[in-house]
Amino acid sequence: MNKKIFVAQSSALSAAKPDVRCVVVANPANTNAHILSYFNKKVNPRNITCLTRLDHNRAVSQIGLKTNSKGENIEGVMIFGNHSLTQYPAIKNIKVNNKPIGDLVSQEWLEKDFIPRVQKRGGEIIKNRGGSSVFSAASATIDHLRDWYCGTEKIVSMGVVSNGEYGVPKGVWSSFPVTCKNFEYKVIEGIKLSDFCNDKIKVTSKELLEELDGADVPRPKL
């Protein structure tokens, strides 16, 4: 059903200028962004993004609540992979007031509470409220577009087309840590990740490819 919708959206997008920028919010956001790009060769794939800022904001919120800190004092939050239960909110590089998160909370809390809470937050809200977090998604979309357009030196998370960074298959849409300038984004490369993190990225990358198979869209040619 989503494939039909986004094939139609890609056709409508052909009327836009080639430098149009897009952010896909509807789920499965990563695969929908891939479909949108695959059926529209006019728009630069780099200009099609998907929303993982909602997950990023949730991660910041959870760290803030746990450490009694304000969001502006939390750095190093990064979401990798799919906007799904396999997404990975990386834990190694988070700092609160310039202190490593490991000095403030236990590794057990990070692995057994923080990561699953961020991954499952959407389902938790639906269960408790009887509806999705549409206003949080709207707010995250504003954050995504504001930082993309106005620029930010602070690392944020965006779903963008992979160029093979961090072992994510080239050509799929994945969340990465980015900075933005002049209505462009740059994936931050070279961040040292733990084996635990790399294993999580492999799991979510596998799911991204499987979703393409489910949508009957060819996998990217590597």
φ, ψ for residue 79 (rounded to 5)? Answer: -105, 125
3: helix, strand or coil = helix
- Residue 18 near residue 44 (C-beta atoms within 8 A): yes
Q: Which two tokens stand for residue 96?
A: 């609160």
Would you tell me the crossing angle of helices 2-13 and 29-38 to the nearest 10 degrees?
Answer: 50
Catalytically annotated residue among 34, 56, 83, 144: 83
Q: Is 83 tagged catalytic?
A: yes
If phi > 0 it is left, if psi is from -120 to 50 it is alpha, else beta; for residue 203 that is alpha
Q: Which two tokens stand for residue 201?
A: 């990225």
- Residue 89 near residue 79 (C-beta atoms within 8 A): yes
Q: Which two tokens stand for residue 107?
A: 């590794």
Q: Give the single-character DSSP code of 42.
A: S
State the catalytic residues: 83
